[in-house]
Amino acid sequence: MQPISKHQFSNYKRVALIMAILFIPLFGFSKTKNGSIEFLKACNGFKDIKLGEDISEIQPYKLAFMDGNSGLDVDSCVSYVYQDEEFLKVDSDFNLQQVAIRTFKNKIVNIYLIFKMTDSYKALRDFLKDYGQFNELPKEYAAIYNWNTSQLNLSLKYEAKSDYGIAIFTCNDLVKDIETMKESKKIIENFTQSFAAVPVYNNQTNDTQTAK
């Protein structure tokens, strides 16, 4: 067997370095496997619906305005029903009743999954399987389970007195944008109200009037 020359050894080192660089992303991706909060962040939504995505990315025939209302809600958002029967299938024994989407400036801020109360344990089972243990239980005796991250939140809620439960995916960056918009509107409204209350002196009648 011939000894390896310095030149060959140098080539082997280069090949090893290239292979290491190529496989680093694969190792990183393996951390986002099912059963972890990292997988929730990697999914960034439910199935093909992604938080922060423009609503125009969804085929128009799959969308209908919630309750036929195309107007803005109190947060300047528009809500849609996602119409796709296949999309409602979550597991072999678990189907959703409805999927809804809420948008802010055409970006998806919320995804709502609505299911029968009798399927609530299946929803919790599947979320635990996919996203691992929830990291917040706001109320000790209420069925509310939260998976919170800096990027997005997932909240699972249901009550024994209700016929339905709901899971809500929320894009935190867009929530911040909504809060900023509401604060700006509030400042403008307060300024407008203050300006309207400022007395104005009328030179002709020598009277003071409120600005309008």
Phi, psi of 141 (to 5 degrees): -110, 15
Q: Answer with the residue of higher pLDDT: 36 or 188.
A: 36
Residue 133 — very low, low, confident or very high, per pLDDT cuts 50/70/90? very high
Average pLDDT of the chain, as a whole number: 83
Q: Indicate whether 200 pLDDT > 70.
A: no
Q: Indicate whether 29 pLDDT > 60.
A: no
Name residue, tokens 């020359």: 5
> Looking at this protein, which amino acid is placed at residue 9?
F
User: CB neighbours of 20 closer than 8 A, spacing ≥ 6?
Assistant: none
Domain ranges of the chain: 7-191
The reported pLDDT for the residue numbered 25 is 44
Measure Cα distances from 83 to 58, 64, 91, 133, 151 in Å. 11, 7, 18, 30, 27
pLDDT tens digits, 135-176: 998 777 678 999 999 999 999 998 778 899 999 999 999 999
Alpha-carbon distance of 128 to 118, in angstroms, equals 18
Q: Indicate whether 5 pLDDT > 90.
A: no
The reported pLDDT for the residue numbered 206 is 57
Q: Answer with the residue of higher pLDDT: 193 or 209.
A: 193
Alpha carbon 14 to its chain's center: 43
> DSSP letter at 110?
E
> Looking at this protein, which amino acid is placed at residue 48?
D
Alpha-carbon distance of 191 to 147, in angstroms, equals 39
Alpha helices in 132-212 (DSSP H): 172-196
Q: Indicate whether 19 pLDDT > 60.
A: no
pLDDT tens digits, 52-106: 999 999 999 999 999 999 999 999 999 999 999 999 999 999 999 999 999 999 9
